[in-house]
Amino acid sequence: MTEYEPVIGLEVHAQLITNSKMFCSCPADYQSAPPNTHVCPVCLGLPGTLPVINSEAIKKIILTGLALNCSIAEQTKFDRKSYPYPDLMKGYQISQFDLPICYDGHLDIDVDGEARRIGIERIHMEEDVAKLFHRTEAGSGEGYALVDVNRAGVPLMEMVGRPDIRSAEEARQYLVAYRSILQYIGVSTGSMEEGSFRCDANVSIRPKGVLEYGTKVEVKNMNSFRAVFHAIEFEIERQSKVLNEGGRIVQETRGWVEAKGETISLRSKEKANDYRFFPEPDLPPLIVKQSWVAEIAELLPELPIERRVRFEDELGLSPYDAGQVTASPRLADYYESVIQHYIEINGPSGTIAKSAANWTITELGRLSNDGQIPVEDSPLKAEYLAELIGLIDQKIIGTSQAKIAAESMFTTGKSAKITVEELGLAQITDSSAIGDAVREVIEANPSAVADYMAGKETAAKFFVGQVMKVTKGKANPTIVSELIIEQLEAKK
């Protein structure tokens, strides 16, 4: 069997966050609005209407280009892409054909500790289309479709990556990194679930060592990062199987069927649309002044990779931890805020960076997954997590009590102190109270005492467990151990 190397290129559509649509003044937020309320003659494509470019959208795509190391075109233009479909109000989409605003960039990712640079061919501006809802008539079973034009004309940015990706995992990492950048620079919400971030993958395989590309297949309908990963994995395997069985890969568009975990053929290349691109005569060429690009460059915030490196260098985080807490800008803000609050309460600390990272990634990560709510949006505020870590460090509570507290705080939003108090989680550090419990346990277990006396030092551990049980886990374990040894030694 031949060993194959996958060649993958991603095309990613991301809606830009702007007040108004790409070519008219309708509000661009379409998710929350009742159907067909954010519309006007322009985005409805009524006869005689004309597009006007939204400069905020242009600014945001340029910001994106700069964040991805792209060149920014000094002169660019829009083109009409024609195809008949009821989600397209004008019968053509205003897009960009041969002169994209951003071109020749790259994105650096880290896959299993290996640095990879994935090329970006272009990022161009276009308008989103209307949303179709396919329905079936209850009685007759006849199919019909409803059209919501709110989404038509929302600024949409298409990034075309070079075929530099070599595995499904690389594709996933690249997509995560791209989304993270968009979120960092504040141009897109990047939500695959809501459809503001969509990915198509071009997948081909070639025998290892061969330079020539194989026939590529375009995979669509992947609605999550997981889906992208699995669809590509599936496609690599499918293509390998076809070739190994002596078959031929057909150039086609395939759709990922989540429920079945497979891709199915949607249309062959022979039936592909001829989009008949030509320059949009309703919009003059767009001249992008270099001085404007320089102004926009000033707006570039710290990017994920820069923040990650800073966290590693300044806070001493491991590359893994740094990568995790910088996954989204708001999570990174949350993490930094925890540290800041901690220092305000407790003063400087050599351990807070690591412990805050652990809590944010592991414990809150788990609660976030369970509750389907991002850590930074949960009721558990950064300042309360800082407070909670402070309580651990001051040995007021133990780690296991802290986890119980955190779980509660994640839903109630109450402060650490109040939660620990209400749930009675504080550690017992009063030596006389612990001493009483130790005495009680020693008196109740004469055989274990005998074992200890006989030299079985491990018997002491049994007593620690028993004392913790009696104190419901609240006794400070260090003090418990000390007192047990003290009392047992006194009996010798």
Partner 1 sequence: MADQIHYQSVRQMSDALLAKDISVIELADAHFERIEQIDDRVGSYLAVTPERAREQATTAQASIDSGNVTPLTGVPMQLKDNLATRGIPTTCSSLMLENFVPPYDSTVTASLANTGAILLGKGNMDEFAMGSSTETSAYKLTRNPWDLSRVPGGSSGGPAAAVAGGLAPYSLGSDTGGSIRQPASFCGIVGLKPTYGLVSRFGLIAFASSLDQIGPLTRTVEDAALVMNAIAGPDTNDSTSILRPVIDYSIGLKDGVKGLRIGVVPEYFGEGIDPQVAQLTRKAIQQLEFLGAEVSEVSLPNSKAALAVYYILAPSECSANLARYDGVKFGFSTHDAPNMMAALEATREGGFGTEVKRRMMMGTYALSSGYYDAYYKKAQQVRTLIRREFDAAFEKVDVLITPTTPTTAFKLGEIQDPVVMHANDVCTVPANIAGIPGISIPCGAINGLPVGLQILGPHLSEATLLRTAYAYEQSTSWHAQHPTI
Exposure string of 412-427, with b = 16+ CB inside 10 Å and e = fewer, is: eebebbebbeeeebeb
DSSP state, 20? B
**Whole-number minimum distance, CB 153 to partner 1, in Å?**
14
The answer to the question of residue 91 lying near partner 1 (CB under 8 A) is yes
Indicate whether 283 belongs to the interface with partner 1 (CB under 8 A): yes
DSSP 269: G
Q: Which residue has the tokens 């459809």?
A: 195
Hey, what are 289's tokens?
């002044």
DSSP annotation string for 337-359: HHHHHHHHHH---SSHHHHHHHI
Tell whether residue 133 is a contact of partner 1 (CB under 8 A): no
Q: Which amino acid is at 442?
A: I
With binding defined as CB under 8 A, does residue 50 bind partner 1? yes
Least separation in angstroms between residue 277's CB and partner 1 is 8
Binding mask 143-172 for partner 1 (x = CB under 8 A): --x-x-------------------------
176 C-beta neighbours (distance < 10 Å), count: 18
Q: Report which residue type is found at 322.
A: A
> By CB under 8 A, is residue 48 in contact with partner 1?
yes
Tell me if 52 contacts partner 1 by CB under 8 A. yes
137 makes contact with partner 1 (CB under 8 A): no
3-state SS assignment for residue 291: helix
Tokens read off for 456: 């079985």
In angstroms, the CA 137 to CA 450 distance is 82
Q: How far is the CB of 131 from partner 1 (least distance, A)?
A: 14
In this structure, the chain runs to a length of 492
When asked if residue 455 is in the footprint of partner 1 (CB under 8 A), the reply is no
Of 133 and 320, the one with the shorter C-beta distance to partner 1 is 133
Draw the binding track, 363-402, toward partner 1 (x: CB under 8 A; -: no contact): ----------------------------------------
Which residue, 93 or 401, is less far from partner 1 as judged by CB? 93
* Cβ proximity to partner 1, 137 vs 298, nearer residue: 137
CB of 387 to partner 1, least distance (A): 54
* Token pair of 100 as six digits: 């994209």
Q: How many residues bind partner 1 (CB under 8 A)?
A: 29
Beta-carbon contacts of residue 389 (< 8 Å; ≥ 6 apart)? 338, 342, 352, 355, 356, 359, 402
Which member of 1, 34, 84, 112 binds partner 1 (CB under 8 A)? 84
Pick 80 or 381: Cβ nearer partner 1: 80
Minimum distance, C-beta of residue 85 to partner 1, in the bound complex (Å): 9
Count of CB atoms situated within 10 Å of the CB of 275: 15
For the CB of residue 44, give the shortest distance to partner 1 in the complex, in Å: 7
CB-count exposure of residue 460 (10 Å: 0-12, 13-18, 19+):
middle
Which residue, among 486, 483, 387, has the nearest Cα to 429 in the 3D structure? 483
> Which one-letter amino acid corresponds to residue 436?
D
Query: Both ends of the chain: CA-CA distance in Å?
Result: 74
Q: Which two tokens stand for residue 291?
A: 């001085």
**Around 457, how many Cα atoms within 13 Å sit in the side-chain half-sphere?**
1
- Please say whether the dihedral angle defined by the alpha carbons of residues 6, 13, 116 and 172, taken in this order, is positive or negative: negative
Radius of gyration of the chain (CA): 30
Which part of the chain contacts partner 1 (CB under 8 A), choosing from 39-47, 322-330, 438-446, 460-468? 39-47
Tell me if 287 contacts partner 1 by CB under 8 A: no
Cβ contact 479:431 at 8 Å: yes
Which x/- pattern over 263-282 shows residues binding partner 1 (rule: CB under 8 A)? -----------x-xxx--xx
Smallest separation, CB 279 to partner 1 (Å):
8
User: Between residues 144 and 320, which has the closer beta carbon with respect to partner 1?
Assistant: 144
Query: Does residue number 261 form part of the binding site for partner 1 (CB under 8 A)?
Result: no
CB of 333 to partner 1, least distance (A): 39
Is 41 one of the binding residues for partner 1 (CB under 8 A)? yes
d(CA 260, CA 253): 17
Whichever of 43 and 62 has its CB closer to partner 1, that residue is 43
Record the tokens describing residue 398, joined without a space. 């133990």
The three-point CA angle 481-485-491 to 5° equals 150
Interface residue with partner 1, options 186, 207, 284, 379 (CB under 8 A): 284
Q: Which of residues 63-82 bind partner 1 (CB under 8 A)?
A: 80, 82
Stretch that binds partner 1, among 38-46, 160-168, 342-350, 357-365 (CB under 8 A): 38-46
Whichever of 273 and 411 has its CB closer to partner 1, that residue is 273
Residue ranges in 319-358 that form contacts with partner 1 under rule CB under 8 A: none
Nearer to partner 1, 85 or 320 (CB): 85
Taking CB under 8 A as the rule, does residue 49 contact partner 1?
yes
The answer to whether 187 and 296 have CB atoms below 8 angstroms apart is: no
Interface with partner 1 (CB under 8 A), residue from 34, 47, 139, 141: 47
Q: Of 46, 210, 450, 453, which lies in the binding site for partner 1, with binding defined by CB under 8 A? A: 46
Task: From 62, 174, 73, select the one nearest 118 (Cα to Cα).
Answer: 174
Catalog residues that contact partner 1 under the rule CB under 8 A.
41, 44-53, 80, 82, 84, 86, 89-92, 145, 147, 274, 276-278, 281-284
